[in-house]
Structure 1
Amino acid sequence: MLSSAQASSSSPATLAARSGGRTGEPLSSAEARADAQGQEFEAVFLNTMFKSMFAGLGEEAGTWGGGSGSDAWRDMLVEQYADTIARSGGIGIGDSIKRELLALQEGVA
């Protein structure tokens, strides 16, 4: 069963936008896999960037409460930020990865 996030990321409008604006044309299985891999790579990249951005926050019982579990909660929140941004179109890295993966599969690299 798909989560609501996965369902929204595979909506027709989202798939059309990610397939270069082709409407009415479903993604091939290779395109869908490349799209998913690009999106996953972008989420990992954003997660890494956000972890360094949030690293100094909450160390004094401020934002995260300063308890022993604050690091875990911060990491989970940062991961969700990264996943949400990547699913929403991201910053363009996922699309570049998708294009490169498809080019490699076609032997055009």
Structure 2
Amino acid sequence: MTDPVRSIVPPTVAQTDQKARAAAQDFEAVFIGQMTKLMLESGAEPGAFSGGHGEALFRGVLAEQLGNAIARGGGIGIADSVLAEIVKLQQADGATP
């Protein structure tokens, strides 16, 4: 249930920064996941040690989880760049002091 008082109080700078950081990290996780998915698909060759159809079904899930883990572990620097752009846009719009 939402608190009526909280719904009219604007978010603090810390809350806004936390949401922006989470959005930047989520973006990086998705980006890394997509790169990983392409990498896994390019190296997949049917053979004796192939996982077959089951492996192909879960390859996307594996790539997504790898992307999330890499982003949570510090990432590759994309989140920092995205966060800097978000902050610039917020400051230009006057969203944060």
2:43 to 54, 57, 61: 57
**Structure 1 spans left out of the alignment, 5+ residues:** 1-26
1:92 to 47, 54, 77: 77
Structure with the greater relative contact order (CA < 8 A, sep ≥ 6): 1 or 2? 2
TM norm structure 1: 0.66
**Structure 2 spans left out of the alignment, 5+ residues:** 1-12
2:31 to 45, 48, 54: 45
Question: Could you tell me how far 1:63 is from its partner in structure 2?
Answer: 5.3
Structure 1 or 2: more helix by fraction:
2
Structure with the greater alpha carbon radius of gyration: 2
Distance 2:86 2:49 in 1: 40
Superposed counterparts of 1:1-109, under 5 Å: 28-61=14-47, 64-66=50-52, 68-107=53-92
Question: Could you tell me how far 1:43 is from its partner in structure 2?
Answer: 0.7
Counterpart residue identity of residue 18, structure 2: A
Question: Could you tell me how far 1:76 is from its partner in structure 2?
Answer: 1.2
Question: Could you tell me how far 1:64 is from its partner in structure 2?
Answer: 4.5
Question: Could you tell me how far 1:61 is from its partner in structure 2?
Answer: 4.0
Identity of counterpart residues, as a percentage?
40
RMSD after superposition: 1.9
Counterpart residue identity of residue 34, structure 1: A
TM norm structure 2: 0.73
